[in-house]
Amino acid sequence: PGVLSGIWGSVFPSSSKKSVCFRSRSDVQTCTSWNAPIIWEGMFNPGHYDQTHRSEGSSVALTVFAVGRYLDAYLEAFLNSSERHFMLSLPVSYYVFTDRPEKVPNVNLAPNRHLNVIKVERHARWQDISMTRMKTISDVIEADIRHHSTHVFCFDVDQVFTGRFGPEALGDTVALLHAHYYHLPRKLFTYDRNPKSEAFMRTGDFYYHAAVFGGSWRSVKALTEACYKSIMEDKKNNVEALWHDESHLNKYFWLHKPSRILSPEYCWDTSIGYRFDIRVHRLLWAPKDYYKLRTS
Ligand code: 2GW
Ligand code: MN
């Protein structure tokens, strides 16, 4: 590829068979050893991705869980911000999972955007709320999402969109670099280190954050099913991975390399402070509102 294609290296359609990586940012890693792009601000032409995905007919399902106090504390801000920044050029279907459907706030949705509210039970242990998300997501993909959306993105609810989170983030399997670990040496990654757990890892590529993952519906179904199976296997053996579903997700992405990786610009924690390589904030960790979380 010549100089010109280098500048817009990542404007190649996401569906192109060959994954092509270029160094349009020299200050950060923009490509993995298995040739998957790592998406940073300045690497891509946003309008190009809007157009290609529109012409390909891409559509996105967003799943988010708001169980117990997390509904009052976070859901409204999450959805309102998503209406301002998430995949504005594509049809979007939200899937909100909650134990109190009647309390889901009324959010004004733009045309071509729809909200589905699905009732789930409230597990007593928070680790179970978090881990059973995998099973619930795979069931809903099978029953509904696969008939309506080409892609699925799964989010924690305790975060707020503050900048474009567009179709440049779409791919077959998409993982996110954890803001607290992307610049640390591998030996500090908090993988599960217990050989009795299915999530056990000696080493890995990156430390991925479970607050955001996605891909084609087929891939997300395979991922969530596999993670859920590992979680259940652990339960049978009376072990729990260090960081619950996140440990299992990291193991899955070690065995099945993601085809596209999002920089921590796609889920930043401002408490880290200024970092030269973070040029935009697209999604921010919400402060844990302990008052609201403790009193229902
Ligand atoms: C979670 C922890 C303690 C008490 C309650 C909850 C809780 C979580 C809850 O009461 N209701 C609820 O809906 N959740 C959902 O699970 C919600 O969508 C939330 O964003 C998600 C994960 O919990 P969260 O955000 O409190 O955990 P983090 O921010 O520490 O998440 C990381 O680690 C988790 C596993 O421990 C998950 O892997 C998560 O995806 C990671 O970002
Ligand atoms: Mn969270």
- Whether the complex's predicted ipTM is more than 0.95 is answered with yes
In short, whether 262's Cβ falls inside 6 Å of ligand 1 is no
- All residue ranges of the chain with pLDDT < 50 are 1-19, 296
**Which residues, 6+ apart, have CB-to-CB distance to 66 below 8 Å?**
74, 75, 78, 96, 97, 98, 104, 157
pLDDT at 20: 56
Expressed in angstroms and rounded, the spacing between residue 153 Cα and the centre of ligand 1 is 16
Ligand minimally distant from the alpha carbon of residue 129: 1
pLDDT at 102: 98
pLDDT at 7: 43
pLDDT at 68: 94
> 């359609």: which residue's tokens?
13
Catalytic member of 168, 198, 246, 265: 246
In short, whether 211's Cβ falls inside 6 Å of ligand 1 is yes
Residue 22 corresponds to which amino acid? F
Residue 6 corresponds to which amino acid? G
Shortest-distance Cα residue to atom 38 of ligand 1: 246
pLDDT at 174: 98
In Å, how far are 166, 170, 222 from 148, measured between CA atoms?
19, 16, 18
Q: Please, which residues have CB less than 5 A from ligand 2, an ion?
A: 156, 158
Helix, strand, coil percentages, rounded to 5, for the chain? 35, 20, 45
Residue ranges and CATH numbers for the domains of the chain are 3-10+39-294 (3.90.550.10)
Q: Is 56 annotated as catalytic?
A: no
pLDDT at 130: 75
The whole-angstrom separation of Cα 35 and Cα 18 is 9
The whole-angstrom separation of Cα 53 and Cα 215 is 13
